Amino acid sequence: MNSSTKYYVYLGLTIAAYFVASKFVFDKVYDTIRIVIDELFHIPQGLAFCKHNFTYWDPKITTLPGLYLVSSVFLGNYFKCNTYNLRFTNLIASVVNLILFASIFKFTYGNNQPSKNVLQALSLAILPPLYFFSHVYYTDTLSLTFLLIFSRLCFTSKFKISILIFGLWSVLMRQTNIVWVAMVFGHKTLDMLIRTSRVFGNTYLTKMTSRRTSIIDKDIDNTKLKRYYGLADVYVALKYHLSTCFVTFFKYLTIQDWLVLLTHGIILITFVTFVFLNGSIVLGDKKAHEATIHIPQMFYFLIFYGIFGLPYVIIKFTTTFKLIFGNKLKIIILTLIFLAIVHFNTVSHPYLLADNRHYTFYVWNRWYGKYYFAKYVSVPVYVFLLINLYANLKDQNCVSFLLPYTICVFIVLSLQKMIEIRYFLIPYIILRLRFAKPSVWVVFGEFLWYIILNAATFYLFFTKEIIWKDFDYTQRLIW
C-alpha cells in the first residue's frame, strides 16, 4: 500500500471515528441544554432564515449573516428547521475542518508519514474551545471552514474565482476574517517585494538572465539566496524599490500575479465599502463592541498558546532559556515595556465581570481582578511564552509571514475590550500550522492533552449548574 492510499485509509477511518464519538457528545449536549448563551440570538435568527424569512434580523447580533445563509441552503428545503439541525450544521462543518487540516498538513509536510499528518489534523479538529463550539450554533466553526478553504486555495493561487468566492464567504461568516485575507495579501506582496529586490537589485544576480515566470506561483529564490528573511531585508527591499520607483517590481509581475493580487484586492475593497456604508465593522449592538486600545489582549493570547500549545512549549523549554540568557538586555527592555503596558492599559469589559458562564470570568475574578499585583507578576510568564513561541517559529518562517501576521493579530485582538477565548482560535491555528515539523511523540502528546482538556471541560459543562434569575432553565459553564 503506497503512501497516498494509506493517507486516504487513515483519513477515512479517522473521520468515521471522529463523527461517531462527536455525535455521541453532540446528542448529550443537546439533551443537557437547548439554548447555550448566545444561541438565544443565533437560533431564532437561523430558524427565520431556514424558513426563508430574510427580512427578520435580531439587532443584538453583530456578525454578518453567513451562518444563517448556509443554514437556509440545507434546512427547510431538505431537513427540518429546528435547534438540533441548526447545531448539526456545525458538527458537519467540523468534519470538513478535519479534512481541510489533513489536506494542509499533507501539502505542507508531504505524504511520507500519512498517519502523523492525519493525527495532527485530528488534534486541531479537537482543539478544546473549537471542538466545544462544533456542538452548538455559534459562528466559529463554519467561519473557520470557509477561511481554511480560502487558505488552502491560496497555497497554489491557481483557482482565482474560487479564492474570491470563499474569501468573500469567509468574511460573510465573520467580519474579522477580513484581517486574515489581508494577511495573505500582505504576505504575498511583502514576499514579492523582498525577493524581487534581492534578485534584481543584487549586482551579481542581475548579470544572470532571468526568465519571465510568475513570482507568486514559482519561488524565484534558488540556492544562491537565503530562504528566510529578517526586518533588515524589508528595509533593503523598500530602499531599493523606492530608489527605482518600483519599476523592477511591476516589470516582473505576470498576468497571473496581477490576477492573484486583484482577487485579494476585490475582497478588501468590498469590505471597506461595507464598513463605509454600515458606519462600523459590526452590525447590531455596536455599543458593546466599540473599538478600544487593549494591548494586554496579546498577552492573554500568549497564555492561550501556553495552555493549548503545551507540548510545543515543553520541547522548546531549553531553547527558550538559552535565548533569554543570551539576550539579557533585550529581555529586560521587553519586560519593562510589558510592565508599562499592563500598568496603563489593563481594562475589563462589563460582560467579563458579570457573566459567570465563561472560564474568563473566574480567571479574572480570582486572579487579575482580585489581586492588585497579579497583572505585574504575570509579565515574566508573558515574556517567557513570547520567546518560546519565537523559538517554535524562527526556523520555519521569515519576516514576510511574521510581520503581516503580527500586525493582523494586533488588529484582531488589541482593538477590542472584550476578552473572549473564541477570538484566540484562528490566530492560534494559523501559528500551529506554521510550526516546524514536529516529532510523532509531540503530535501524540498534543492529541492526548486535548483529549484530557475536552474530557474535563465537558464534564464541567454537564455537571456544573449555574442559576440565573432571568432564565427559567439552568445555565452551563462554557469557554
Sorted by sequence, the CB contacts under 8 Å of residue 76 that are 6+ apart come out as: 50, 51, 52
Inter-residue contact 212 to 199 (CB < 8 Å) = no
Domain residues of the chain, as ranges?
Answer: 1-174, 177-280, 291-438
| pLDDT tens per residue across span 170-180 | 999 999 999 99
CA distance 450 to 467: 29
Inter-residue contact 476 to 357 (CB < 8 Å) = yes
Give me the percent of the chain exceeding a pLDDT of 70.
Answer: 92
Cell 493579530 appears where? 409
CA distance 136 to 39: 8
> Residue 113 — φ and ψ, nearest 5°?
-125, 75
Reduce the DSSP state of residue 17 to 3 states and report it: helix
CA distance 140 to 178: 14
272: exposed, middle or buried (Cβ count in 10 Å: 0-12, 13-18, 19+): exposed
| β-strand partners of 475 | 466
CA distance 394 to 105: 19
Sorted by sequence, the CB contacts under 8 Å of residue 166 that are 6+ apart come out as: 146, 149, 150, 153
Each residue's pLDDT, cut to its tens digit, for the chain (479 residues) gives 788 899 999 999 999 999 999 999 999 999 999 999 999 999 999 999 998 999 999 988 989 999 999 999 988 778 899 999 999 999 999 999 999 999 999 998 888 889 999 999 999 999 999 999 999 999 999 999 999 999 999 988 788 899 999 999 999 999 999 999 999 999 989 988 888 787 665 544 444 444 445 444 444 444 344 556 788 888 888 888 888 888 878 877 788 888 888 999 999 999 999 998 888 887 766 665 677 899 999 999 999 999 999 999 999 999 999 999 999 999 999 999 999 999 999 988 887 878 899 999 999 999 998 899 999 999 999 999 999 999 999 887 888 899 999 999 999 999 988 899 999 999 999 999 999 889 999 999 999 999 999 999 999 999 999 999 888 889 999 99
Q: What is the pLDDT of residue 285?
A: 64
The residue type of 267 is: I
Distance from the Cα of residue 82 to its chain's centroid:
29
Q: What is the pLDDT of residue 289?
A: 63
Q: What is the pLDDT of residue 110?
A: 86
| β-strand partners of 465 | 476
CA distance 431 to 309: 10
Sorted by sequence, the CB contacts under 8 Å of residue 356 that are 6+ apart come out as: 362, 466
CA distance 200 to 181: 28
Query: Taking all residues of the chain, what is their mean pLDDT, rounded to a whole number?
Result: 89
Q: What is the pLDDT of residue 111?
A: 85
